[in-house]
Amino acid sequence: MGSITLEKVSKSFGTTNVIPEIDLEIADGEFVVFVGPSGCGKSTLLRIIAGLEDVTSGTIRIDGTDATHEAPAKRGLSMVFQSYALYPHMSVYGNIAFPLKMAGEDKSAIDDKVRSAARVLNLTDYLDRKPRQLSGGQRQRVAIGRAIVRQPKAFLFDEPLSNLDAALRVNMRLEISELHHQLKTTMIYVTHDQVEAMTMADKIVVLNAGRIEQVGSPLELYRNPKNLFVAGFIGSPK
């Protein structure tokens, strides 16, 4: 299960309101992309869902239950950080196992989960390496592995590919889409890259200055942009 609902969620930093008041429904298993220009509030919205930022007002429900004031670890969501958030002194195995060790799981359960994640991510041959001995794409896979082992209700990605080169980005896009296909777990993916949004999403949420301009499938947004902002951003004429 992994449905997420935002009801009248707003966020201010001091006197600056960055998210006015938004409603959004994400169904279990959906691949949702938040797209919009830099500074429009994508990361803030994701961090609110993850519980890393408090809301100023409104309600967040996860599988129907009010999670607005629940601690991040209790929400059952996994945030995938960019690959540079790996522990450099730990092996790939150690990095993937880390959240399970922190959760106090026993050694054999940890071993099963790490090896099964490594299989899914094609990292089986790299478990003993240190992050510096891996390519950018492999490092990103380790970061995803660390999220997978927790078997979250949803994965939250914040521009996970932005520090990879163009060719690798295309590759990783396909890999993440394939992962979604395999796991069928809800994914929320933040990007400022229209191509990423159009190729990966079941549903795109177009953000502009903290407001939702439009929500729809890539085809809906392309064929029927609600306004010039969406048309300009998605790249079809209106």
231 binds, among ligand ADP, Mg ion, none (CB under 5 to 8 A by kind): none
Q: What is the 3-state secondary structure (H, E, C) of the chain?
A: CCCEEEEEEEEEECCEEEEEEEEEEECCCCEEEEECCCCCCHHHHHHHHHCCCCCCEEEEEECCEECCCCCHHHCCEEEECCHHHCCCCCCHHHHHHHHHHHCCCCHHHHHHHHHHHHHHCCCHHHCCCCHHHCCHHHHHHHHHHHHHCCCCCEEEEECCCCCCCHHHHHHHHHHHHHHHHHHCCEEEEEECCHHHHHHHCCEEEEEECCEEEEEECHHHHHHCCCCHHHHHHHCCCC
The verdict on 218 binding ligand ADP (CB under 6 A) reads no
5 binds, among Mg ion, ligand ADP, none (CB under 5 to 8 A by kind): none
Choosing from 10, 17, 43, 59, the residue that interacts with Mg ion (CB under 5 A) is: 43
87 binds, among Mg ion, ligand ADP, none (CB under 5 to 8 A by kind): none
The verdict on 232 binding ligand ADP (CB under 6 A) reads no
The verdict on 56 binding ligand ADP (CB under 6 A) reads no
Fill in the per-residue mask, 162 to 201: x = in contact with Mg ion (CB under 5 A), - = not in contact. ----------------------------------------
38 binds, among Mg ion, ligand ADP, none (CB under 5 to 8 A by kind): ligand ADP
> Where does this chain bind ligand ADP (CB under 6 A)?
13, 18, 36, 38-44
